[in-house]
Structure 1
Amino acid sequence: MPITVFSQILQQADSLEDRYLKGDFPEEERIALLRELAYAGDVDKMLKYSNELIETAERLDSLDGLGDGYIYKGHALRLKSDLPEALKNYFEATRIGRQLNKVKRIARSEISIADVYSMMGNHQNAVRYYQSAIGLLRDIQDSIGFSSALENLGDEYLTVDMPDSALMFFDESGRVFRAMNYTEGLAYNLGNRGIAYAQLGRDQMAKDTINRAVTMMEIMQNYYPISVYLTYMSDIYLNQGNWTVAMNYAQRSLEIAQKHGLKDQLSGATLKISELYEQKGEYSKSLDFYKQHIAYRDSVNNIASVQEMANIRANFEIAQNKEMAEIRANFEIAQKQVEVDLLNQKRRVQQIIVIAVASALFLISLLALGLFRRNKFIQRTKRLIEKEKDRSDNLLLNILPEETAQELKESGRVKAKRFESVTVLFTDFKGFTYYSEDLTPEQLVKSVDFYFSKFDEIIEKYGLEKIKTIGDAYMCAGGLPFPSEDHALKVTQAAFEIAEFMEEMKQTKEEEIAHFEVRIGINTGPVVAGVVGTKKFAYDIWGDTVNIASRMESNSLPGHINISENTHQLVKDHFDCIFRGEIHVKNKGMMKMYFVNRKHNSNGKSNTEHIDEPSSVQNQG
């Protein structure tokens, strides 16, 4: 279990935020206050205030504050499981550390880089960066950083089943922790030692050591490692044949993960429970928990697709395991039968040749029948695999445009393409974070899935391309992957249907569905489109057009459709538009914006009007 050098400190986070929001501080303390806010609190607040710290440090030309901003943003992104973006920010923090010639900053950034590589399964890079950080920290005599890097390097060797190597590093880090009386480090050291002993088969030592670590972690209220260590205790008892105690530890791990919102360990605990039920032969319960494991493990950016992929993958893997087990069982039976018959044949050969020949023919028939049955099983397995392949292809078409999916299957990659005129739409639910705090996870998932599924139907109706969802934000575009001339009109029409649907839902009384108000923003211009990544492919678009569309949404009002000047030029002859004036947009300056109305004038021309916006709207950005 790796130690995070920059651990979250939750105490006083609320009072710090109140002070910052009230502005009750001198301007020269702004960077220091943002450091504290980006260093503490929940993940979303860490990300929010680290971004503000980066912007403020750039404005005030504070290179030191900028480096802190990047490393805290990396921590927030890592906790949100956005590992590629976390890595980018850690590398930027390292670059600034070298520019400032701050060895301690460089070393701790390298520890964070190594932690990310470890989470990505890149053992070689993780070891390389841990060793580099250890060398730097040893020279400057940073005891906590040095011992933490040693502990994390030892933990990395546990991930590749090298417990003897891991224990060498735990020995050295443990001596430093004891000399400093560093309680948190000692707790992690004990837990990691317990895992190493478990891998070496020293079960009693493992149980004693892990129990001591759990006791210390409970005093410190550090629940994530407790949940991890409990799953290892479950493994130990399972290896000893004590299924009941193993299940108790796994369920306790799951309860802690659920209570404290530990997303990573929810995945680990549900997987362990699934394995335990499989050992017991209770395949239905095993399948249920395995589906939960996959749902927690995968990204929740697109809830409907994730659930479908989890069900497909779980059903296929369980079915495949049962099919192979059936094949193995039948083969073993046939093999034993052949051995018995051969023995009887040898005895009969000594008595009479005719009987021996008859027995041989009988055995050949049995063997042919066994091969025939085995071949039938293989054919059934192949058909199952082909069926799942077809379902995977269909799922790929749900994620990528057909032309892009075909190019990806044929060449293994997709070339980026530039489109000169595309209309981009963003939606966002007003007050989503506030309302979601009062909802159960099940209600939240069901509500977002309900609304986004309806949005999918609407954009499919108008031949638009869904790009992605980010939390409660929904993004789509018209004019790609096949260029068209009326994409701005179709996107605007789709926006009206979305707004009308959200308004209708406010009148319903369905208790399981939360009610939100939606803001909509649209912009038109050139974009570059392509597929990013080598796993979990995502079709995405980039360019200033996308950024401005996002600003149109953030500067909109609930229930309104806010469009840019570019889009207005394309739809003004078809819709009434209300000119909002020039509104300041962050990083863009003053930009013209319009609200779009449904109705036309009798002459078919738009009635472009100007309205005075409230000052709070004009200054958004």
Structure 2
Amino acid sequence: MKCRKLAYCFLIGSFYFFSNVILSQDQRIADSLVVIYNADTAQGLEKLDLLHALSFNEINNFDVALKYSEELIHLSRQSSNYEYLSYGYFQKGYAKQYSGDLEDALSAYFQSADVAKKEKIVSSEGSAYAAIADIYSISDNFDNAMLYYQRAIKTLRKSPQKREDTVLLATSILNAGDELLIHKVYDSALVYFKESGELFEEVDYTAGKAFNLGNIGMVHAYTGKNDLAENNIHQAIRILEKSENYYPISVYLMAMADIYVEKKEHQTAIDYAQKSLSLAKKYGLIEQLADANEKLAKLYEGVGDQVTSYSHYKDHIAYRDSLLNIEKVQQLANQRTDFEVSQKQVEVELLETQKRNQLIVLGFIGLLLVASLWFYRTISKEKKKSEKLLLNILPEDTAKELKATGAVKAKKYDSVTVLFTDFKGFTRYSEKLLPEALVETISFYFSKFDAIIDKHGLEKIKTIGDAYMCAGGLHDTEEDHAQRMVHAAFEIATFVEETKKDVAASELTFDIRIGINSGPVVAGVVGTKKFAYDIWGDTVNVASRMESMSEPGKINVSNSTFELIKSDFDCDYRGEIEAKNRGKIKMYFVTGAKKEVLAMTNGC
């Protein structure tokens, strides 16, 4: 499981108008303050304090938290109170982030930092830098994340060390350690956690101690010290439950699932992951809905329940796509990075790291040159093997980009056709087979599917259990991808039907459902070690719904695909059908190619 930032710079500047005591986020405080808000008696600075406290503590409904932060921004601007204006932008960023809108969250955090820097509000500036770092962390931009965590820590060390300043500094150090934990730099992560833990103890900050316990527990989990991990994480959960802070509890429950996977207690692992999913559903935690469904998909696949695994995987895709608009976040990150790198301060901060990296790179290049002189023939041979393997995993132009630059930028395609297939009754059948026979059965079908889509110039994206996914229109200039996909679908359906009539293959027969949808997608490479080419977007989600709402042996298409193929294929309109999490969608069964099209094809 990839852990996310659990602790934030929760306090920025002065706190509630009725207290100088530092408190962590607590839903119960928000619930009690609503009475004062609804009475509408607070005015001036008290009203700003009230809105800040409400937006800060409202952690069960981020739409409500956003409303409070927007009102705080409006009133702060009206009264020219820039300190609270910075607070307002920060809380807006927080609400946007946990609602899954990372682009708007990043923009709000930068606005908070800009206002605070201009007004020399050190604690607010440092808090905003830490939150910016967290967005980069979620977007898998390690360099920017660590750059802004270090900037946050450096800024906050300048702040007068009152109790609240110590909390802010400790939280930033904790989150920097968490980023190192994500990238498996465990020893360095523990160094950061040691300092943050000491600071939280120094000021007796309960929530901070909980996060620190939990993160140290996750380090123990990743390094195989399961008993220590379980003890630490349980302590963290007990503390967080008292303040009803459910997001980190959901993450830590996922960590517990990982621990029990290592212990080979798969049902207990599933139970913990289900608890995490239930919390995420109850409180609208989009990120955890995506992660918990992904975890459950893997766990159920591990115990042989392919149907439940596939269901969770499809939900993971839906929530993941709503969480992260890859292209926009990447563009915004790149624009801001270019601006930051142009400043002298950044150059000074990075100089030492750059020198060290240059020495490493030069040493590595020198080693390669020496090795290449000695092992030239072997390396050449292995290179060809690697390139061939890479082309089996990634599309050719994507593989070239990866080899040339070491990374692959996400790309948006305006018109792509996506197909999903699924075997009816596969789970019952698979329960009766040995693993070797099960793999052989899947390979029998999918090898033929691969040949069919290759014939039509389409691209296989992935398989998930007994489900098969492919796409057309990603890397070619032809506009007939929908027609080619439907032709391929008919060939797949025909192959499956003919296999049922083959006596030799009688034990390998199934019915198949096929669904197709067309529209825009974002495509890119997932992972840094085990590369996987994937596509995202609402188009993919609807294609999945088309498959699940299809019938055995039939090809179910959406209205967008119908509009592209109606001149070439006969279709039966099914009406508007209710689809899970989508509402009513127009659907069509494709019955065959039109006669005039067949005549033209035969004439050729």
**TM tier, smaller:** 0.5 to 0.7
Query: Quick one: which of 128, 132, 136 aligns to 1:109?
Result: 128
The residue identity in structure 1 corresponding to 2:156 is L
Query: Quick one: which of 251, 255, 263 aligns to 1:232?
Result: 255
Alignment of 1:184-263 (within 5 A): 184-263=207-286
Question: Partners of 1:51 and 1:373 in 2: how far apart?
Answer: 55
Deviation, 1:113, is 0.8
Instruction: Choose between structure 1 and 2 for higher RCO, CA contacts under 8 A separated by at least 6 residues.
Output: 2
Query: Quick one: which of 439, 448, 451 aligns to 1:379?
Result: 451
Q: Does 1:46 align with 2:65?
A: yes
The residue identity in structure 2 corresponding to 1:280 is V
Match of 2:191 in 1: 168
Match of 1:389 in 2: 471
Distance change >3 Å, CA 378–CA 58, structure 1 → 2: closer
Question: Partners of 2:282 and 2:417 in 1: how far apart?
Answer: 23
Match of 1:96 in 2: 115
Q: Does 1:178 align with 2:299?
A: no
SS in 2 for 1:11: helix
Q: Is contact 1:291-1:310 (8 Å) kept?
A: no
Query: Quick one: which of 509, 519, 526 aligns to 1:398?
Result: 519
Distance change >3 Å, CA 247–CA 381, structure 1 → 2: farther
Once the two structures are superposed, what CA deviation does each residue of 1:510-560 show, in whole Å capped at 9, x if it has no partner?
9x99x9xxxxxxxxxxxxxxxxxxxxxxxxxxxxxxxxxxxxxxxxxxxxx
Moved more, 120-129 or 12-21: 12-21
Deviation, 1:287, is 0.6
Moved more, 187-196 or 388-397: 388-397
Query: Quick one: which of 5, 20, 32 aligns to 2:9?
Result: 5
Deviation, 1:196, is 0.8
Moved more, 253-262 or 381-390: 381-390
Question: Partners of 1:177 and 1:310 in 2: how far apart?
Answer: 53
SS in 1 for 2:193: helix
Deviation, 1:213, is 2.0
Moved more, 383-392 or 183-192: 383-392
Alignment of 1:401-440 (within 5 A): none
Match of 1:149 in 2: 172
Match of 1:66 in 2: 85
Match of 1:548 in 2: none
SS in 2 for 1:147: helix
The residue identity in structure 2 corresponding to 1:267 is A
The residue identity in structure 2 corresponding to 1:31 is L
Question: Partners of 1:188 and 1:177 in 2: how far apart?
Answer: 10
Question: Partners of 2:299 and 2:43 in 1: how far apart?
Answer: 58
Deviation, 1:296, is 2.1
Question: Partners of 2:33 and 2:417 in 1: how far apart?
Answer: 41
Deviation, 1:106, is 0.9
Stretches of structure 2 lacking an aligned partner (at least 5 in a row): 11-23, 326-415, 427-432, 461-468, 475-480, 483-515, 522-544, 546-557, 564-577, 584-604
Once the two structures are superposed, what CA deviation does each residue of 1:26-55 show, in whole Å capped at 9, x if it has no partner?
456443333333334331122223222222
Alignment of 1:327-406 (within 5 A): 379=451, 382=454, 385=459, 388-390=470-472, 398-399=519-520
Deviation, 1:211, is 2.2
Distance change >3 Å, CA 277–CA 374, structure 1 → 2: closer
Stretches of structure 1 lacking an aligned partner (at least 5 in a row): 303-308, 320-325, 334-371, 401-444, 446-455, 462-509, 516-621
The residue identity in structure 1 corresponding to 2:451 is Q
Deviation, 1:265, is 1.6
Deviation, 1:154, is 0.7
Distance change >3 Å, CA 178–CA 54, structure 1 → 2: closer
Question: Partners of 2:323 and 2:133 in 1: how far apart?
Answer: 25
Alignment of 1:251-330 (within 5 A): 251-299=274-322
Deviation, 1:16, is 4.0
Once the two structures are superposed, what CA deviation does each residue of 1:138-174 show, in whole Å capped at 9, x if it has no partner?
2322211111111101111111122222111111111
Distance change >3 Å, CA 33–CA 172, structure 1 → 2: closer
SS in 2 for 1:2: coil
Question: Partners of 2:253 and 2:417 in 1: how far apart?
Answer: 25
SS in 2 for 1:398: strand
Once the two structures are superposed, what CA deviation does each residue of 1:73-110 show, in whole Å capped at 9, x if it has no partner?
11111111111111111111111111111111111111
TM-score by length of 1: 0.51
Question: Partners of 1:300 and 1:129 in 2: how far apart?
Answer: 22
Q: Is contact 2:297-2:313 (8 Å) kept?
A: yes
Question: Partners of 2:283 and 2:257 in 1: how far apart?
Answer: 20
Question: Partners of 1:52 and 1:239 in 2: how far apart?
Answer: 48
Once the two structures are superposed, what CA deviation does each residue of 1:403-462 show, in whole Å capped at 9, x if it has no partner?
xxxxxxxxxxxxxxxxxxxxxxxxxxxxxxxxxxxxxxxxxx9xxxxxxxxxx999x99x
Q: Is contact 1:113-1:126 (8 Å) kept?
A: yes
Distance change >3 Å, CA 315–CA 3, structure 1 → 2: farther
Match of 2:51 in 1: 34
Q: Is contact 1:294-1:310 (8 Å) kept?
A: no
Q: Is contact 2:174-2:193 (8 Å) kept?
A: yes
Distance change >3 Å, CA 209–CA 59, structure 1 → 2: closer
Question: Partners of 2:195 and 2:257 in 1: how far apart?
Answer: 28
Question: Partners of 2:261 and 2:447 in 1: how far apart?
Answer: 36
Distance change >3 Å, CA 376–CA 27, structure 1 → 2: closer
Deviation, 1:380, is 5.2
Distance change >3 Å, CA 240–CA 101, structure 1 → 2: same
Distance change >3 Å, CA 270–CA 144, structure 1 → 2: same
Deviation, 1:256, is 2.7
The residue identity in structure 2 corresponding to 1:173 is S
Deviation, 1:225, is 1.6
Question: Partners of 1:75 and 1:234 in 2: how far apart?
Answer: 27
Q: Is contact 2:73-2:84 (8 Å) kept?
A: yes
Across the aligned residues of Structure 1 and Structure 2, the Cα RMSD in angstroms comes to 4.3
The residue identity in structure 1 corresponding to 2:294 is L
Question: Partners of 2:445 and 2:318 in 1: how far apart?
Answer: 37
Deviation, 1:301, is 11
Question: Partners of 1:270 and 1:310 in 2: how far apart?
Answer: 25
Question: Partners of 1:138 and 1:220 in 2: how far apart?
Answer: 28
Distance change >3 Å, CA 115–CA 310, structure 1 → 2: farther
Q: Is contact 1:34-1:53 (8 Å) kept?
A: yes
Match of 1:56 in 2: 75
The residue identity in structure 1 corresponding to 2:459 is I
Distance change >3 Å, CA 185–CA 21, structure 1 → 2: closer
Distance change >3 Å, CA 9–CA 233, structure 1 → 2: closer
Question: Partners of 1:311 and 1:230 in 2: how far apart?
Answer: 34
Once the two structures are superposed, what CA deviation does each residue of 1:313-358 show, in whole Å capped at 9, x if it has no partner?
7979xx9xxxxxx9x979x99xxxxxxxxxxxxxxxxxxxxxxxxx
Question: Partners of 2:449 and 2:121 in 1: how far apart?
Answer: 64
The residue identity in structure 2 corresponding to 1:379 is A
Question: Partners of 2:270 and 2:44 in 1: how far apart?
Answer: 55
Deviation, 1:267, is 1.9
Once the two structures are superposed, what CA deviation does each residue of 1:113-158 show, in whole Å capped at 9, x if it has no partner?
1111111111111111111111222232221111111110111111
The residue identity in structure 2 corresponding to 1:206 is A
SS in 2 for 1:61: coil
Question: Partners of 2:55 and 2:448 in 1: how far apart?
Answer: 61
Q: Is contact 1:295-1:310 (8 Å) kept?
A: no
